Amino acid sequence: GAGVSQSPRYKVAKRGQDVALRCDPISGHVSLFWYQQALGQGPEFLTYFQNEAQLDKSGLPSDRFFAERPEGSVSTLKIQRTQQEDSAVYLCASSLATFSSGANVLTFGAGSRLTVL
């Protein structure tokens, strides 16, 4: 597609529910990132994929967070047993090449706003 597509755009969950957030990166983009953006703050890194391989998951805040990209394109971020502190906008971004090449642009989706009641 023309851009990075994320769904759902808005999700309200009751505390304890599981949620799944989907990211469709730009077709052909190798690198995919998930960021968490709390209200009024900058995005914070969660995890990074190069094709289907999850190369870095150091930013995932707890073992309730899980991300996958099984075929190297669409990615899903899953949050189990949601807590109120999980409320945030979850941003997905992709880039054409491996990001370490330093020669490419990171394109963000519009984000999925999660509210946990």
Name the residues that contact other proteins, by CB under 8 A. Answer: 4, 33, 40-45, 48, 56, 91, 93, 99-100, 102, 105-111
Number of Cβ within 10 Å of residue 20's Cβ equals: 14
User: Which of 4, 32 has the CB closer to other proteins?
Assistant: 4
Q: CB 116 → other proteins: shortest distance, Å?
A: 20
Q: CB 77 → other proteins: shortest distance, Å?
A: 15
Q: CB 108 → other proteins: shortest distance, Å?
A: 3
User: Which of 28, 102 has the CB closer to other proteins?
Assistant: 102
CA distance 8 to 115: 12
Query: Contacts for 42-51 with beta carbons within 8 Å, 24 or more apart?
Result: 43/91, 46/77, 46/90, 47/77, 48/99, 49/75, 50/98
User: Which of 79, 90 has the CB closer to other proteins?
Assistant: 90
Chain center to CA of 5 = 11
